[in-house]
Amino acid sequence: MTLEDPHLLNAFDKLCHDYKANMMRFRPCKPGGEMLEANLVFSFIMAFKELYPDAFWAVEVPFESTETNSHNNHLDALIFIDGTLYLIEAKRDYATQDQLNLMRDDLARIESPRLATSLQKMIHRDVYDNPLSEVDKVIGVLLADTWQNSNRNAWRSGVYNGETQDWLPKHRTMSDLGIYAQGARTPYTLMAAHTDNLTQSLETIRGIRGKNVEH
């Protein structure tokens, strides 16, 4: 079980190293509470940028809602480097079924045609002096953390309560940070996964639906 994309694999390794160091100094949550996923997103971006200084990033990227046609949905973050656009969603620790349901919703958001259409409009505006280069690949990224062994097992096996979680990307990994809550046996763990190339999103973003693109 590992990440196939080398940029993401290296960034996740650095994230785990840096996140553990930070948690040994300060945790931005009430005692016994959970840290907001914004901390995970920002730390991942920082790790990625330290490794790849030319990467471009953005957070809280808005996109249109199917119901209202207003930009009241958002993507947690995106990163662009070397022609690859990474679309990122993160979730903090929840009970296992809740966390799986929320991450499945996040993946649907990443793959949403509405998001791809909104990105196409934002990327191809006439207002940029130094616009992004051509997008060649679109990869969805899921990040999560947990203190619970059942979440770790579901992530590792792709099965929970006897049900196969076939929506989970096959490229996934997790890292035990060696930090324990008081009295707990399960270490704090970071998890990451990524999709293959989202060809439909890529076609929409590039405005070339129907043409051949890299899988």
Identify the CA nearest to 32 among candidates 184, 189, 185: 184
Instruction: Tell whether 215 is covered by a domain.
Output: no
85 assigned to some structural domain: yes
Q: Does residue 175 lie in a domain region?
A: yes
Amino acid identity, position 194: H
Sign of CA dihedral 157, 163, 164, 169: negative
Q: Is residue 99 situated within a structural domain?
A: yes
Residue 66 has what pLDDT?
A: 63
DSSP class of 74: E
Q: Is 143 helix (H, G, I), strand (E, B) or coil?
A: strand
CB atoms within 10 A of CB 140: 24
Domain count, the chain: 1
The pLDDT score that the predictor gives to residue 33 is: 62
Ordered alpha helix ranges (H), the chain: 6-23, 37-51, 96-110, 113-123, 149-157, 199-206
The answer to whether 205 and 138 have CB atoms below 8 angstroms apart is yes
The pLDDT of residue 181 is: 78
Give Cβ neighbours of residue 5 (< 8 Å, ≥ 6 apart).
Answer: 84, 139, 171, 194
pLDDT at position 58, please?
97
CA distance 135 to 80: 8
Domain membership of residue 70 (yes or no) is yes
Whether 1 is covered by a domain: the verdict is no
Q: What is the pLDDT of residue 1?
A: 80
Per-residue pLDDT tens, the chain, 215 aa: give them: 899 999 999 999 999 999 999 887 887 776 766 677 899 999 999 999 999 999 999 999 999 766 555 556 899 999 999 999 999 999 999 999 999 999 999 999 999 999 999 999 999 999 999 999 999 999 999 999 999 999 999 999 999 999 999 999 999 999 999 998 777 789 999 999 999 999 999 999 998 653 444 44
What local confidence, expressed as pLDDT, does residue 213 receive? Answer: 45
User: Residue 100 sits in which domain range?
Assistant: 6-206
The pLDDT of residue 111: 97
The answer as to whether 213 is a domain residue is no
CA–CA distances in Å: residue 167 to residues 79, 106, 160, 171 = 23, 11, 12, 12
Q: Answer yes or no: is 80 within a domain.
A: yes
